[in-house]
Amino acid sequence: MTRRNTSIGNQSGMASIVVVSILVIILALISLGFARLMDRAISNSLASQLGSAAYYAARSGINDAIAYLAANPTAPSANSCEDLLGTGPPPAPLQSAADAISQASGGVTEYTCILMERQPTSLNYQKIPPFKSQVVRLSTPAGSSFVNFTVSWQSSNRGYDQLPGSGEVLYQQTQWANNRYEPVLRLTVYPIDNDGDNDSLADVASNAKTFFLYPSSSGGGQLQFVATADGTLRNVSCPAPSSANDYHCRVTIGNLGGNRSYFFVRLTPLYQQADIKIEGVMNPGNNPARFTDAQSVIDVTAKSNTSVRRLAARVDTSSIGGGLVNISPRDDAMPENAIRTAGVLCKRLDVTGGAVSSEAAWRALCNLSI
């Protein structure tokens, strides 16, 4: 009889190798994923740091341009990057400031362009508080004069973009806010004559007019200065803005009267904080008005390694060179009202030679005994 030997193979070693290989692959993939996440986090952190460096460099460029304007009041506009930056010879006016930034950062951060517009075609004032005034001098370059100027405004909070119904009702403050209406704008225009003499305060006051511009969906877009009575409450058209740069409500002030040298305007939003823009048309040529000695637009581009930032700022330049100074609502330079109260106003009177009477309700509130 023949014996057959049968051997059964043990596969446990191969299974272990396969399991370990799979675990190694999984761990390698996890490690690779974490490495990529760390690399992305480091890249984002570096990009953020470079972006911040470029941003603050651009802000520094704006401050350097402001200092340059203060030291050079008659400096012209800079419409090319080479006007203010460049090694020359001679070096451009702000090249030394740019070199200082570059040296401080080891050559990583620098200004790449600084532009400056001394006579912008619009004046912008943002976040003017309610019942506070911005006073602006409106003047054009020598040899030109205003045909008209346009004032546009809207609430700084774009959640308040509704318009009151028909009529010109001045609702209570809480009702106006609850209905989210656009603000009313009080506009006072002070024309200054160019007849060669110095206008007295009495002359200015007699020529000045105040208009209350009421936001409306059906109002007009024109107001004739000479023909419109002082103190007029006027519905003003508030069509949907055609672009992000347009404000909701706008009115054009025309028929300004002859013999005007320049104007002061006082802008006072009522009910809500407001953003306000002024544009205009000037002669000769009926061209867009250019405003002098009011604002300058400074546009700075800076980079830090591969990160680039560009900032633009409007700077009040009315006081540069000792000129007339625009009044900001933050200056608190003038009283907005002689007296204003939301409650009862009581006055103590000394009246001789006649009888004095008062309403019973007022006597109780003011503790009057007459």
Average pLDDT across the chain, whole number: 85
Confidence (pLDDT) at 342? 66
pLDDT of residue 370 exceeding 90, the answer is: no
pLDDT band at 323 (very low <50, low <70, confident <90, very high): low
**Is pLDDT above 60 for 249?**
yes
- Average pLDDT for 172-198: 88
Over residues 262-297, the pLDDT tens digits come to 899 999 999 999 999 999 999 988 999 999 999 999
pLDDT at 361 (0 to 100): 63
Over residues 67-72, the mean pLDDT reads: 91
Taking each continuous run of H as one helix and of E as one strand, the counts in the chain are 6, 14
Is 189 within 8 Å of 267 (Cβ atoms)? no
Residue 182 has pLDDT above 60, yes or no: yes
Length of the chain: 370
Place of tokens 């090694």: 87
Q: Which range (173-187, 214-228, 334-348) has the least confidence?
A: 334-348
> Residue range 78-89: average pLDDT?
89
Q: How far apart are CA 327 and CA 308, in angstroms?
A: 35
Question: Taking residues 141-159, what's their average pLDDT?
Answer: 93
Are 98 and 92 in contact by the 8 Å Cβ rule? The answer is: no
- Neighbour tally for 115: CB within 10 Å: 20
In this predicted structure, the answer to whether residue 311 has a pLDDT above a threshold of 80 is yes
The encoded tokens of residue 351 equal 């009246």
Residues 149, 150, 155, 158: is their CA dihedral positive or negative?
Answer: negative
| CA end-to-end distance (rounded Å), the chain | 147
User: CA gyration radius for the chain?
Assistant: 34
Q: What is the pLDDT of residue 324?
A: 67
Average pLDDT for 204-227: 90
pLDDT of 234 over the 80 cut: yes
* pLDDT for residue 32: 82
Residue 45, pLDDT > 70, answer yes
Q: What percent of the chain has pLDDT over 90?
A: 48
pLDDT, residue 349, reads: 56
Q: What is the pLDDT of residue 359?
A: 61
Question: Taking 80 as the threshold, does the pLDDT of residue 333 lie above it?
Answer: no
User: What confidence score (pLDDT) does residue 48 get?
Assistant: 84
